[in-house]
Amino acid sequence: MPRFHVLGSGGWVPTLARQTCCHLVETRRSLIFLDCGTGISRLHDPMFRAILQRHRRAIVLLSHWHHDHIEGLQALPLFLSHMSVTVAGPGRDICGESAAAVLTRFGSAPLLSEPLPHWGERFAGGFSIVDLKPGKNSVDGERVDVIAQPHTHPSAGMRVRDVTYITDTVERPESVALAAGSALLVHDAWLDREDAVAGGPETLAHCSAEGAARVAASAKVSALVLTHLNPRYDSVRLERMFLEAAATFPATHLGTDMSSLQFGAQEEETIAPGAATVGSVGDL
């Protein structure tokens, strides 16, 4: 059964409790990362070390190019050197330039010893960078359905293996259509009710927890994980935000680093996502 792990549930800046956005969908065929923020550092944990050793194929799907979603890329050779690694992010059709071009800038001298697109030697199974475009994509054999999203710079919503990942965007009907019937929706919950009602520029780039819950309810997903949580909020405020969301969509989980959730896919070894239902809920 596929498992979903939260490695980093925060946005912008890591806190003592939360690293920045990174999630892992563990299937028998491959490890699929949803964003690669500082949460990648959770792979130091012995449980994840054991998972890494069982796999030879990793796919890293990036929602967009903001630093809190890509800072962990520099750690990929540390954790995934024994694998084939494919990094896929919004390309020309979404943000006006290819993923390889963006990552060349990210890693240009003197920021990294070698730009990311030249990392082929660092992974035993090879390394490639591919563009995500709106619609159906095939990333190293995995079907990934993608929508372009409004944000301060464009971001990509995506659905892979019956998990829909929507972050760094506002509440949108397009998200409902993409997520329809998913086993799991992982959704941006940057704002609480107070900040959402107050308005301001962040409401044009992010969603509230209640908005995420409305998307989950409309899409009739089996479970919702709130992610990209705001480092300005303390645990009391986050708990209140969680309760606000759960009032609309009871199967809501507040994203917590190092928590896991198991869900059952109809055809685990099928590359295309099949209908799935949530199996047993772990410690989310």
Residue partners of 49: CB distance under 8 A and separation at least 6 = 43
- Of 48-56, 63-71, 112-120, 260-268, the window that binds Zn ion (rule: CB under 5 A) is 63-71
Strand 135-139, strand 252-254: pairing: unpaired
**Pick 11 or 255: Cβ nearer Zn ion:** 11
CA gap 152, 39 in Å, rounded: 22
Q: Which of residues 217-246 bind Zn ion (CB under 5 A)?
A: none
CB of 14 to Zn ion, least distance (A): 12
- Of 42-50, 113-121, 167-175, 211-219, the window that binds Zn ion (rule: CB under 5 A) is 167-175
CB of 230 to Zn ion, least distance (A): 10
Strand 135-139, strand 142-149: pairing: antiparallel
CB of 212 to Zn ion, least distance (A): 14
Of 64, 239, 280, 85, nearest to 158 by C-alpha is 64
**Pick 215 or 278: Cβ nearer Zn ion:** 215
CB of 228 to Zn ion, least distance (A): 6
CB of 67 to Zn ion, least distance (A): 8
14 binding Zn ion? (CB under 5 A): no
CB of 82 to Zn ion, least distance (A): 30
Which residue's Cβ has the minimum distance to Zn ion?
Answer: 66
Q: How many residues bind to Zn ion according to rule CB under 5 A? A: 4
168 binding Zn ion? (CB under 5 A): yes
For Zn ion, the binding residue among 2, 8, 10, 11 (CB under 5 A) is: 11
157 binding Zn ion? (CB under 5 A): no
**Pick 68 or 131: Cβ nearer Zn ion:** 68
Give the DSSP H or E segment for 209: helix 209-219
Q: How far is CA 185 from CA 16, 103, 122, 181, in A?
A: 25, 28, 33, 9
Give the DSSP H or E segment for 273: none
CA gap 158, 166 in Å, rounded: 7
Contact 59, 44 (CB under 8 A): no
CA gap 168, 149 in Å, rounded: 8
- Of 67-75, 236-244, 252-260, 264-272, the window that binds Zn ion (rule: CB under 5 A) is 67-75
**Pick 73 or 276: Cβ nearer Zn ion:** 73
CA gap 284, 274 in Å, rounded: 23
68 binding Zn ion? (CB under 5 A): yes
**Pick 14 or 107: Cβ nearer Zn ion:** 14
CA gap 61, 22 in Å, rounded: 10
State the DSSP code for 279. -
The token pair that represents 200 in the structure block: 């301001």
For Zn ion, the binding residue among 18, 23, 57, 66 (CB under 5 A) is: 66
CA gap 212, 218 in Å, rounded: 10
**Pick 102 or 183: Cβ nearer Zn ion:** 102
- Of 58-66, 218-226, 237-245, 257-265, the window that binds Zn ion (rule: CB under 5 A) is 58-66
3-state secondary structure of 191: strand
Where do contacts with Zn ion occur on this chain (CB under 5 A)?
Answer: 11, 66, 68, 168
